[in-house]
Amino acid sequence: MAIVSSYSESCGNASFTKILHDTIRQYSGYEVEVVELDLPILQSIDTSIRAAATRHVDDLCRRLAQFDYVNIQLEAGLYGTLPGDIFQRLRKLMKANPNTSVTLHSPRIIPNPTAKRNAIKQLLSLRLKSALHSLMADYQAGIHTRLNSRLVRELARNGHTAIVHTERAKRQISTFFGYDNVYVHPLRLVQEGFQSSTATLDKVKANLNLEKGAVLIGMFGYISRNKGHFDALEALSQLPGNYKLAIFGRQHPQTIRSDGSKDDYLSALVQTVKNSRLLRGRVFFLGELSDDQFMQVASAVDVAWLPYYENGQDGSGIASITMDVCGRVLASASFAFDELMKLIPYNNVVRFDIGNDLELATKTQMIMSQAVPTKPFGDESTYNIRSQALAYVQASKARR
């Protein structure tokens, strides 16, 4: 069996692919090979390099034809920058082997009307500049939904199995495309028998010289706009001084500029901390962790924050791991988390409205006054690491 994905890169897809590779071999006995995407080539918009990307995809197709089964991890940005390139490359890959399943991590096929509604209100109020920004946001979001619709149609045309992370995504594909060859399985990344340890976090605490009685809040993953870092800073400023925020993560690679300038979001975040008397000495940027270190640290912090905004993704590996291993989790009321909770009820997660830093601060103090629930924190009776591996095997066989 082949899995088409990123693998050696630092990204969520690569981490998930490693888990898939290992667990499919463990639970099914299948031989599994990752057919790795060359991201620097695929994501370039230079004409000559795009030609090299075409040759790269053609080579991948020849390799995929030799396997019994294929799974394609579909996060559009892995396959290119321009929508036309992404579609043509994935179209080729889908045709390479008849026994193929496609994992849709961000299956946005219904446009969000919010930006368009805002634009209409702003136009009626003669706020032309704001209206233009809203219309541009609506146009950019429409690019993703149109591309996803084309890809789902292509998947259905080839009779391949779709794998999605929510029942909502399955319903939408059935409703809008009349296609029912869809498997649902939420992201699972924590191996059976995982043993938490405080050793890694103890070293971090010692190096930070935290006072006795400090409450350490953890945030994890790439430092990007949808993660809600500014809401976290606002919430922290309302909490007692012994509450500290540790940000374990790095700047997203796609925001690194070649001209040597700083990323605007990260720069604003750092300046906010520097300029705030209430935050100074309480916020720590601690960089990226290995997958194993992340699980250990997430299991050992006093509380984890997931103040995510909507970005069209139906699954988050960071969130899934955090909910599975951390005893106290605050998660925003995003649609993605709503859908996850329907499949896997958690006893350690408290929800709050997106952007409501007052609620986040209040509920953090509330959850800290309560005992940590018993493990497992999530109901593993239906969806677990083993069922995920077997679902991928079954899905690749379930050609329509």
14-66 per-position pLDDT tens digit: 999 999 999 999 999 899 999 999 999 999 999 999 999 999 999 999 999 99
Over pLDDT 90: what percentage of the chain? 78
Q: How confident is the model at residue 399 (pLDDT cuts 50, 70, 90)?
A: confident
Closest CA to 243 of 132, 328, 316, 308: 328
Give me the residue label for tokens 């082997």: 97
Per-residue pLDDT at 125? 72
Residue 115 has pLDDT above 80, yes or no: no
Other C-beta atoms lying within 10 Å of the C-beta of residue 41: 18
Contact 220, 331 (CB under 8 A): no
pLDDT in tens, 228-256: 999 999 999 999 999 999 999 988 777 77
pLDDT in tens, 80-105: 999 999 999 999 999 999 999 999 99
Residue 11, token pair as written in the block: 């990204």
Residue 136 has pLDDT above 70, yes or no: no
Per-residue pLDDT at 215? 97
3-state secondary structure of 68: coil
Per-residue pLDDT at 182? 96
pTM of the entire structure?
Answer: 0.89
3-state secondary structure of 100: strand
The type of residue at 98 is: P
Where is average pLDDT lowest: 50-64, 191-205, 255-269, 297-311? 255-269
pLDDT in tens, 141-192: 667 889 999 999 999 999 999 999 999 999 999 999 999 999 999 999 999 9
CA angle 75, 80, 81 (to 5 degrees): 105
Per-residue pLDDT at 315? 83
Contact 350, 372 (CB under 8 A): no
Per-residue pLDDT at 116? 61
Cα–Cα distance for residue pair 246/236, rounded to 1 Å: 11
Domains of the chain: 2-185+385-397 (3.40.50), 199-368 (3.40.50.2000)
Query: What is the maximum alpha-carbon separation in the chain?
Result: 64
Cα–Cα distance for residue pair 127/394, rounded to 1 Å: 54
The type of residue at 18 is: K
Closest CA to 163 of 97, 80, 70: 70
Residue 387, token pair as written in the block: 């069922």
Q: What is the mean pLDDT of residues 353-372?
A: 97
Cα–Cα distance for residue pair 57/54, rounded to 1 Å: 5
Per-residue pLDDT at 114? 62
What is the average pLDDT score of the chain? 91
